[in-house]
Amino acid sequence: MNDACKALSLGRSTIYKLINEGKLKSITIAGRTLIPRTEIERLVSGVN
């Protein structure tokens, strides 16, 4: 999550908002929210 915040220059609450809106896919493992690098790249490039 921290790496995603840095890469996207967004705060944690905004990242969670994007996840809840279905605009950013995440994986939850053992209580940790992980965002695949491909999702970060997709969001940065503007691809839907």
Q: Which domain holds residue 22?
A: 2-45
Q: What is the per-residue pLDDT across 1-48, written as a single tens digit (0 to 9) for each? A: 888 999 899 999 999 999 999 999 999 999 999 999 999 999 888 866
pTM, entire model: 0.81
22: left (phi over 0), alpha (psi -120 to 50) or beta: left
Estimate to the nearest angstrom the gap between the alpha carbon of 34 and the chain centroid: 8
> What pLDDT does residue 21 have?
96
Count of domains forming the chain? 1
Strand duo 27-29 + 32-34: pairing:
antiparallel
